[in-house]
């Protein structure tokens, strides 16, 4: 059977399954004629084939057919009055009844239980860094380039120069303020919009060249070519991107100067603390 063909669409597969189905029903009636087990076996065979008729997995189909042929061999043995085959069928029927009874009892127990009260979902926690107050800049903030501060309370924290996709900034501590995140996100969004506009203009420039070529062919060329306006807009966008990149580069150099000065002061203060600690230890030893 081709793998691209559904099993229930294959004539050979359907013929094999129907032959096995009718053989099981016929042999089951003949082997257990006049017994209560005949009706039970017939119902089990019908139920199993009805359940497995839409199987798609080759492995599951092979296992189902194997079980069917094993049952057919058992029915042959029962028809010959083989004691071992009859006992095997009886044990399988007892296990099937026990399993069915267990399932029924579980369903009854579940239906007898009161329905579980659905717990209400707790309200989402309001993140501190998403409140409007946190998104506003601090009223007493100072320009970052005013650093390094000559005197600080406690140990000096040397800032780290970070490059956020071309946007430089100094990270003093983690987590960074939400207002800084909003500012960086806005700058990156603005830059991306300009890049998208540049790509659209580059595409339009090719179409404008085709229009100019068509005007040359038809002899209806205007004084101002189609590409002139597109080139002007493209040059403007490139100039804006270049100007902003140069600004970011200059700002990064200034921020790096702040980092170097902060490092020098941090080393100086660490040396002073060490000298002070040694002096205190010397006084205690005296």
Summarize pLDDT for 11-34 with one digit per residue, the tens. 888 888 888 888 888 888 888 887
> Rounded mean pLDDT of 54-83?
85
Is the pLDDT at 143 greater than 90, yes or no?
A: no
End-to-end CA distance of the chain: 99
Q: Say which range, 5-9, 101-105, 106-110, has the weakest mean pLDDT.
A: 5-9
Predicted TM-score (pTM) of this structure: 0.47
- Residue 239 has what pLDDT? 95
Q: For residue 252, say if its preceding peptide bond is cis, omega within 30 degrees of 0.
A: no
Q: Specify if 177 maps to a domain.
A: yes
Residue 129 has pLDDT above 50, yes or no: no
Contact between 72 and 23 under an 8 Å Cβ cutoff? The reply is yes
Are residue 77 and residue 210 in the same domain, yes or no? no
State how far the Cα of 176 lies from the Cα of 138, in Å rounded to an integer.
Answer: 13
Instruction: Enter the tokens of residue 40.
Output: 């039970």
Task: Report how far apart, in Å, the C-alpha atoms of 24 and of each of 32, 84, 99 are.
Answer: 12, 19, 22
- pLDDT at residue 32 in the model: 82
Look at residue 124 and tell me if it is in a domain. Answer: no
Q: What is the mean pLDDT of residues 44-71?
A: 85
| Residue that is last in its domain, among 112, 142, 167 | 112
- Does residue 236 form part of some domain? yes
pLDDT at 139 over 60: yes
Residues spanned by the domain of 168: 130-285
189 within domain boundaries: yes
């Amino acid at each position: 059977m081709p793998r691209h063909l559904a099993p229930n669409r294959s004539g050979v597969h359907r013929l094999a399954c129907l032959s096995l189905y009718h053989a099981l029903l016929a042999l089951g009636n003949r082997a257990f004629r006049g017994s209560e087990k005949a009706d039970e076996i017939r119902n089990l065979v019908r139920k199993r084939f009805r359940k497995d008729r839409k199987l798609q997995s080759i492995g599951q189909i092979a296992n189902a057919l194997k079980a069917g042929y094993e049952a057919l061999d058992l029915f042959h043995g029962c028809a010959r009055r083989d004691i071992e085959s009859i006992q095997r069928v009886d044990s399988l029927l007892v296990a099937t009844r026990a399993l069915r009874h267990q399932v029924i009892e579980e369903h009854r127990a579940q239906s007898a239980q009161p329905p579980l009260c659905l717990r209400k979902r707790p309200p989402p926690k309001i993140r501190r860094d998403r409140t409007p107050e946190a998104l506003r800049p601090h009223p007493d903030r100072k320009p970052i380039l005013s650093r390094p501060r000559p005197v600080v309370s406690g140990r000096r924290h040397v800032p780290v120069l970070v490059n956020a996709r071309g946007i430089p900034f100094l990270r003093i501590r983690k987590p960074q303020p939400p207002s800084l995140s909003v500012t960086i996100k806005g700058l990156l969004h603005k830059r991306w919009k300009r890049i998208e506009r540049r790509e659209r203009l580059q595409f339009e420039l090719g179409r404008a060249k085709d229009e100019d070529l068509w005007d040359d062919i038809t002899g209806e060329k205007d004084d101002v070519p189609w590409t002139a306006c597109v080139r002007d807009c493209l040059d403007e966008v490139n100039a804006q991107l270049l100007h902003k990149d140069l600004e970011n580069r200059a700002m990064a150099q200034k921020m790096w100067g702040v980092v170097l000065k902060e490092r020098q002061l941090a080393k100086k203060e660490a040396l002073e603390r060490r000298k002070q600690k040694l002096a205190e230890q010397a006084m205690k030893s005296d």
